[in-house]
């Protein structure tokens, strides 16, 4: 089976000299949901920003078989949907419907077709009633779902979520788990939330100092890198 994402020896240095990615090798296969663990500053988000060409480092990176280079960016960005950590940054249009239709309109669909696409995506995340609402009138959970709809409307083959449980209360997290389990796309989820990762991921990788230090079943990785609180009752 061909990987949907294939990174080989990916290396990136920020303009200030910090080496953020140091020879990252990574594969994501169809049907997988991979959790990315790692300390703050270990390169997780930097890696995500490479996936659709927002940052470009050395080494090779293929998304759906296409190298992530200037000529392919439009296509790559259609195939990979990134949901960023802060939904306030993701929802920038005046109404939910317009926001969800933003991606499809950019990919060249006409207004009516884009609207149909947006409505279908909103239905998938149970946000059909919010079509004319302004983003600042939504709850944290609704914002998250609207942001996911905005990405689903582009019909991507890969979903990338950066810290999706931030700001969500337990019912909100539970809804998110159910939603993610129901979506067929391959997923890459950057998270510190171990319980959440156990509930959705089929595999985990661990980032350490800008490189992938381990890959395997979620529980095995958590144990290997002692990535749980593990302190017993107070």
Partner 1 sequence: MHHATIDRWSRGQSAIHRLDARAKILSLLIVLIAVGTAPTAGIWRTGAGFGALAVASASLARLPLVGVFTRSLAVLPFSLTFAVIVYVTGDAYQASALLIKSYISASFVLLLVSTTPLPHLLRGLERLGFPAMLVLVIQYLYRYLFVVSREAQHMRTAAISRGFQRAGFRVAAGAVATLFARSYHRAEGIHRAMIARGFERHIPILAAERLRLSDGLLVLLTLGIAVIIRTGAMR
Closest distance of CB 187 from partner 1, Å: 16
Contact present, 25 and 209 (Cβ < 8 Å): no
> Residue 121 in 3-state DSSP?
helix
CB-wise, 152 or 180, nearer to partner 1? Answer: 152
Largest Cα–Cα separation, the chain: 58
Smallest gap from residue 146 Cβ to partner 1 (A):
12
Whichever of 23 and 120 has its CB closer to partner 1, that residue is 120
Q: Considering the complex, what minimum distance in angstroms separates the CB of residue 84 from partner 1?
A: 5
The b/e string for 32-68 (b: 16+ C-beta within 10 A; e otherwise) is bbbbbbbeeebbbbbbbbbbbbebebeeebbbbeeeb
Q: Which is nearer to partner 1, 93 or 199 (CB)?
A: 93
The count of other CB atoms within 10 Å of the CB of residue 152 is: 25
Please say which residue, 132 or 219, places its beta carbon nearer to partner 1: 132
**Minimal distance in Å, beta carbon 100 to partner 1?**
10
Interface residues toward partner 1, by CB under 8 A:
49, 52, 54, 74, 77-78, 81-82, 84, 86, 88-90, 92-95, 97-98, 101-103, 105-107, 111-112, 114-115, 134-136, 150-151, 154
Residue 230, classed as helix, strand or coil, is coil
């Amino acid at each position: 089976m061909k990987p949907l994402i294939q990174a080989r020896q990916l290396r990136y240095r920020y303009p200030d000299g910090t080496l953020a990615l140091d020879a990252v090798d990574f594969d994501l296969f169809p049907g997988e949901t991979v959790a990315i663990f790692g300390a703050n500053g270990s390169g997780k988000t930097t890696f995500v920003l490479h996936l659709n060409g927002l940052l470009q480092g050395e080494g090779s990176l293929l998304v759906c078989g296409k190298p992530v280079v200037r000529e392919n960016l439009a296509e790559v960005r259609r195939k990979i949907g990134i949901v960023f950590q802060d939904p306030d940054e993701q929802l920038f249009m005046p109404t939910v419907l317009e926001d969800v239709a933003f991606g499809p309109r950019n990919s060249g669909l006409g207004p009516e077709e884009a609207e149909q696409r947006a409505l279908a995506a909103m239905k998938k995340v149970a946000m059909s009633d919010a079509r004319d609402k302004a983003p600042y009138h939504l709850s944290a959970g609704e914002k998250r779902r609207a942001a996911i709809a905005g990405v689903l409307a582009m019909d991507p083959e890969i979903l990338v979520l950066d810290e999706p449980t931030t700001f969500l209360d337990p019912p909100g997290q539970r809804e998110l788990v159910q939603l993610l389990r129901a979506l067929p796309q391959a997923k890459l989820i950057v998270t510190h939330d171990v319980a959440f990762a156990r509930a959705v991921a089929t595999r985990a990788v661990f980032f350490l100092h800008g490189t992938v230090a381990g890959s395997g079943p979620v529980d095995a990785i958590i144990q290997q890198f002692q990535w749980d609180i593990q302190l017993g009752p107070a």
